[in-house]
Chain A
Amino acid sequence: MERKTVFPQRLLPYLLLAPQLLITAVFFFWPAAQAVWFSFLRQDAFGIRTSFVGLENFTELLADPTYHEALRNTAVFATAVSLLSLGLGLLFAVLADRRIRGAGLYRTLLIWPYAVAPAVAAVLWIFLFHPQVGLIGRWLNGVGLGWDYKLNGGQAMLVVILAAAWKQVAYNMIFFLAGLQSIPPSVLEAAAIDGARPWQRFWTITFPLLSPTTFFLIVVNLVYACFDTFGVIDALTKGGPAKATETLIYRAYVDGRVNLDLGMSSAQSVVLMVVVILLTMVQFRYVERRVHY
């Protein structure tokens, strides 16, 4: 899309673009290029001795079983968070879209978790699931279920998934609501006249019509689960116990911050950049074309 009428000035547009381009260059392109460069280096903690090691950081990383574990954790975590938050978001959206009394109030009461920071969400869930001070955690221990997410990796994964998904439901619901409201009523009316039951109508008409929204949300949720949930994991489990909740982004943080290994952390950044670029390409190539509007 282009405008027909434009202003003739030559210098002004560059001035207008300058702030954004400058910041993008300094804090985006330069670090991204540096990440690639650092990933070929090995450096001590203080950055005093630097040597070029070629692809060694990558070969070491890809051969490391704990990195494979982080990859698996990320897959499990991202899938579970996306499914859970998409499912609940869709359910609430469909219900709140019906013309029932107080639908607007429900909507208001359901959207605000969007505004809660992931790290804050994690702290809220600590107060539910902490084995000593948590409401549900103590109850679980009380009935003899042996609840301790600080030692049991499976339980830890469950808690971070719940906390991360909890925060994301609101976001998905808002998009599903917008999607539902753009479906022409006549389509559904026609189906109702044909005698289709509501459940059937939902699966044969509404859900397919929502597919652009759904596919968009799948990508957004995966990106959220992979990158924005750092705060959830850091506040709840710090990647533990025994790396059970260490995701790729958390691993990059630990190697860079705690283990002070800039080369290894940068190599992981490069891997992550490739993954995100692939995800984005999938979104543009596959999602935008194949899904019918």
Chain B
Amino acid sequence: MQRRSLLAGSAALGLAAPGLARAQARTEIQLWHAMTGALGETIGEEVKRFNESQGRTTVVPSFKGGYVDTMTGAIAAWRAGSPPHIVQVFEVGTATMMAAGPAIKPVHTLLGEAGITLDPKRYLAGVRGYYSDTQGRLISMPFNSSSAVMWLNLDAFEKAGLSTTALPKTWREVRAAAEKIKATGAAPAAVTTAWPTWVLFEQMAAIHDIPFATKANGFEGMDCELQLTQPFFQKQMDFVLGLQKDGLFKYGGRDNAAEGLFPAGEAAIGFNSSAGRARVAREAKFKWASVPLPYHDDVIASPKNGVIGGASLWPLSAKNRPVEEYRGVAEFFRFLSEPALDQWWHQQTGYVPLTLAAYEKSKAEGYYTQNPGADAAIIQLSRAEPTPNSMGFRLGGFVEIRNIIQEELEKALQGQQTGAQALENANRRGNVVLRNFERANKG
């Protein structure tokens, strides 16, 4: 019912001719996003609440495909002179957007011009750090943040004779559990992961406090270099290849292609974004749990915080864009920063709460005791004070770098090269991308 009225509303908006004398001319704000299905509907609901809450601005959300399509579409539109007001860009695109200078309007400038104050401190440290400049000012608007967590099929664990209360915490324990699952045939495959590079390398570097790249993972300058040939990555790569060699690991494809294997019961241990929670809850026909990512206990005794994934909202500039449109964007952002809305978004989607207030409130209301494991990502994000290695990544051309690592990993999994060669190649090719980005953005 609600959805129908939403559709009817947006249809009416589309039909209203611009010249029609309506009592109050509302400013229209275009929002391009990359959320399908239930998440897309949640954005629609959020926007509807904003549009009804005030009389000056109408936000029009439109789905533009996956993250890459949305980002490149917006860039193409900016070059063509007709960009949307707001575009949702995934965390991997952050450095590219930050380097875009006149194309973007930093959030702190935007809010300042509209006379709106927003204390960045209200956001969780891991969230704030990722989207701020070196002076701690917000450049883009935190929106949907997640972290990677480990999902366990407890029915399969039971079938394999494993404990369903003392769950694996370290990679050693994950391997032991996987061996039992395979030996007993409790599930078709033991371990799989969505977002392979994000989970297996980026998150692991942060958790173990190992630099992924020099210059604080790029935060301190574009002249950073990847550190993938360091011993830790070698160890991690060998560990993954070892799992695969012993038939314990099933590679399910790039990006989120493997996301469906865990809820379908195809793999008993799955790594994925915490935002996959809604899907697991809907589809899994078995008892399950979500816990923080495992770590190597011979590398670090108490793991650091993981990094966030997900996306943020970027205000784009355009020639002759009227002041009131920027003001509309600013007001929408203020609306989004309300802890109550944030709490609703968090519980609705499985993304982590962005503000401390929303987290505290959810906790106080007993949300996490009713939904055990829903705080796994939050615990993982906030269990330690972020170090330069766990603040996040600000690497130019990161989309390409991630694809390069995936390609080299795929080659190693196919047995076409050793783990050491894969890391060396990924490091070399990735650094070429970094240098090109540096040169292209200096001239």
A and B touch in the complex (CB under 8 A): yes
Complex: chain A residue closest to B258, CB-CB: A150
Q: Which of B103, B407, B416, B437 has the most A CB atoms < 10 Å from its CB?
A: B407
Contact across chains for A44 and B400 when beta carbons are under 8 A apart:
no
CA–CA, A208 and B436, complex, Å = 53
Could you tell me if B429 and A261 are in contact, using CB atoms closer than 8 angstroms? Answer: no
Q: In the bound complex, do residue A240 and residue B75 qualify as a contact, i.e. CB atoms below 8 Å apart?
A: no
The contact of B78 among A42, A46, A153, A241, by CB within 8 Å, is A46
A49: chain B residues at CB < 8 Å are 440-443
Q: Is the CB of A44 within 8 A of B99?
A: yes
Report Cα–Cα, A118/B217, bound state, in Å.
42
Given A152-B414, A242-B407, A242-B416, A48 and B400 touching (CB < 8 A)?
Answer: no
Measured between C-beta atoms, what is the minimum distance from A266 to chain B in Å? 14
Residue contact A151 to B443, C-beta cutoff 8 Å = no
Q: Are A48 and B68 in contact (CB under 8 A)?
A: no
> B residues within 8 A CB of A261?
436, 440
Q: Does B399 contact A (CB under 8 A)?
A: yes
In the bound assembly, the distance between CA atoms of A152 and B244 in angstroms comes to 14
B contact residues around A68 at 8 Å (CB) = none
Among listed B249-257, B286-294, B298-306, B373-381, interface-contacting one: B249-257
- Whether a CB of chain B sits under 8 angstroms from the CB of A24 is no
Instruction: Return A253 CB to nearest CB of chain B, in Å.
Output: 11
Closest residue of chain B to A44, judged by CB?
A: B440
**A6 at the B interface (CB under 8 A):** no
Task: Tell me, yes or no, whether B281 is within 8 Å of chain A by CB.
Answer: no
Chain B residue numbers with a CB within 8 Å of A150 are: 251-253, 257
Residues in chain B near residue A42, CB distance under 8 A = 436, 439-440, 443
A59 within 8 A of B: no
* A66 beta carbon closer than 8 Å to chain B: yes
Complex CA–CA separation, A42 to B436 (angstroms): 9
Instruction: Tell me the A232-282 residues at the B interface (CB within 8 Å).
Output: 240-243, 257-261
What distance in Å separates the Cβ of A54 from its nearest Cβ neighbour in chain B?
13
Asked, given contacts A150-B253, A153-B414, A258-B400, whether A45 binds B96 with beta carbons under 8 Å apart, the answer is yes
- Could you tell me which residues of chain B, from 99 to 123, have a CB within 8 Å of some CB in chain A? 99-103
Tally of chain B residues near chain A (CB < 8 A): 36
Cβ-based interface call for A43 (8 A): yes
B254:A240 contact, CB within 8 angstroms? yes
Query: Given A45-B96, A151-B251, A259-B399, is A242 in contact with B103 using a C-beta cutoff of 8 Å?
Result: no
Q: What residues of chain A lie closer than 8 Å to B103, measured between beta carbons?
A: 46, 48
A92 CB to closest chain B CB, in angstroms?
36
Question: Contact between B75 and A260 (Cβ–Cβ < 8 Å)?
Answer: yes
Q: How far is the CB of A63 from chain B (nearest CB, A)?
A: 10
- CB of A264, distance to nearest CB on chain B (Å): 8
Rounded to whole Å, the gap between the CB of A14 and the closest CB of chain B is: 32
* Residues of B contacting A20 in the complex (Cβ-Cβ under 8 angstroms): none
Q: Is the CB of A260 within 8 A of B410?
A: no
Nearest B residue to A52, CB-CB: B443
* Shortest Cβ distance from B74 into A: residue: A46
A44-B441, A258-B72, A261-B436 known; A242 and B410 CB under 8 Å?
Answer: yes
Interfacial chain A residues near B352, Cβ < 8 Å: none
Chain A residue contacts of B187, Cβ below 8 A = none
Q: Taking the complex as formed, is A5 at the interface, i.e. its CB lies under 8 A from any CB of chain B?
A: no
A214 to B437, CA, bound (A): 47
Please, which residues of chain A bring their CB within 8 A of the CB of B129?
Answer: none
B308 within 8 A of partner (CB):
no
Give Cα A45–Cα B97 distance, bound, in whole angstroms.
Answer: 9
Q: Kindly list chain B residues whose C-beta atoms are within 8 Å of the C-beta of A257.
A: 72
- Option from B101, B429, B439 in Cβ contact (under 8 Å) with A48: B101
Q: Cβ of A50 < 8 Å from any Cβ of B?
A: yes
Contacts of B75 in A (CB 8 A): 45-46, 260
Q: Does B178 contact A (CB under 8 A)?
A: no
Q: Which residue of A lies closest to B399 (CB)?
A: A258
A148 to B103, CA, bound (A): 43
Type the 1/0 row for A46-71, where 1 means its CB is closer than 8 Å to any CB of B: 11111100000000000000100000
- Compute how far the CA of A44 lies from the CA of B441 in the bound complex, rounded to whole angstroms: 6
Interface residues of B in 383-436 (CB under 8 A from A): 397, 399-400, 403, 407-408, 410-411, 413-414, 416, 429, 433, 436
Distance to closest chain B CB from A136 (angstroms): 19
What is the chain B residue whose CB lies nearest that of A51? B443
B440's nearest neighbour on chain A, judged by CB, is A44
Q: Does B79 contact A (CB under 8 A)?
A: yes
A238 and chain B: residue at smallest CB distance: B254
B102 surroundings in chain A (CB, below 8 A): 48
- Which residues from A are CB-within-8-Å of B407? 240-243
Q: Which residue of A lies closest to B429 (CB)?
A: A66
**A150 to B257 alpha-carbon distance, docked (Å):** 10
Chain B residues whose C-beta falls within 8 Å of the C-beta of A240 in the assembled complex: 254, 407, 410
CB distance from A142 to the nearest CB of B (A): 12
Residue from A47, A66, A241, A259 in contact with B410 in the complex, judged by beta carbons closer than 8 Å: A241
Within 8 A of A (CB), among B58-78: 68, 72, 75, 78
Using A151-B413, A241-B410 as known contacts, say yes or no to A46 and B72 having CB atoms under 8 A apart.
no
Among all A-B residue pairs, the 6 with the closest Cβ atoms: A51-B443, A242-B410, A242-B411, A241-B410, A44-B440, A242-B407
If A44-B441, A45-B440 are given as contacts, then 20 extra A-B residue pairs at C-beta distance below 8 Å, sorted by A number, are A44-B437, A44-B440, A46-B75, A46-B78, A46-B100, A47-B79, A48-B100, A49-B440, A50-B443, A51-B440, A151-B253, A151-B413, A241-B410, A258-B72, A258-B400, A259-B397, A259-B400, A260-B75, A260-B96, A261-B436
| Residues on A facing B (Cβ under 8 Å) | 42-51, 66, 150-153, 240-243, 257-261
19 contacts across the A-B interface (CB closer than 8 A): A42-B443, A44-B99, A45-B100, A46-B75, A47-B79, A48-B100, A48-B102, A50-B443, A51-B440, A66-B429, A150-B251, A152-B414, A240-B254, A242-B410, A258-B68, A258-B403, A259-B400, A260-B72, A261-B440
